[in-house]
Amino acid sequence: MDAKSSPALIAGAPFAPPLVSRPDDLGVSGSVDRLEAVQQRKYPQPCGYFNDRTRECHCTPPIIQRYISKISGPLLDRIDIHIDVPAVNYKEMRSTSVPESSAQIRERVIRARETQLSRFSGLKEKLYCNAQLAPRHIRSFCDLSPDCERLLERAMAQQSLTARAHDRILKVARTIADLEPAPAIQPKHIAEAIHYRTLDRTFWA
């Protein structure tokens, strides 16, 4: 099967009326059509080539909108990160540059989690990570500079983001800063967190 561009969050999403309702729907009975239908659910439109750099998408905007609307806006709003994952081209596969290793990433994650545990150690509630922050905690631990405030306010207005999206952007920005590591949230962290609301911007803006 060819690699196709797809938003990471949609993979395997059980939001629409079920395409799989019986064991043989998974293809174990040789039903290739049903298996292809399940695979198709992983992409943001029927052909699977939306935003693909090498293949042309022939789906019209109404078709794409109708297809993606199987996922409700309120449900999507509850997902922290959704981004497009394009197919890897040949030059990228053959590149000699050395990416960050899994071991290095693991070390950064461990340090970030330790930072968060230390940050929340004085609270009465048992919090272990930024994902658990309630709105009252966000006000305390996600302090923003004037530049960050302006950037977030502009994104909220331009993309018609909800209060829930606002809180999730701040929690993700706080986590990005922890991974850097940086003591305070900076505009670049806010910008990156906003960028991770791809489907808000593309289909629900």
pLDDT for position 146: 97
Residue 51 CA, distance from chain mean position: 16
pLDDT for position 40: 43
Q: Is 7 helix (H, G, I), strand (E, B) or coil?
A: strand
Confirm if 155 and 180 have CB atoms less than 8 A apart: no
Listing DSSP states for 59-111 in one string gives --HHHHHHHHTTS-HHHHHT-S-B-EEPPPPHHHHT----PPPHHHHHHHHHH
Listing DSSP states for 25-59 in one string gives GGTTTS-HHHHHHHHHTTSSSTTS-TT-SSS----
Please state which of the ranges 17-31, 32-46, 134-148, 168-182 shows the lowest mean pLDDT. 17-31
- For the stretch 85-137, pLDDT in tens is 778 888 888 999 888 999 999 999 999 999 999 999 989 889 999 999 999 99
pLDDT for position 37: 45
Question: Whose structure tokens read 């006000």?
Answer: 139
Of 131, 11, 10, 163, which is closest to residue 72 (Cα–Cα)? Answer: 10
Mean pLDDT, residues 159-182 taken together: 94
**CA 166 – CA 84 distance, rounded (Å):** 20
**CA 107 – CA 83 distance, rounded (Å):** 24
Q: Is the pTM of this model over 0.75?
A: no
> Is residue 45 pLDDT above 80, yes or no?
no
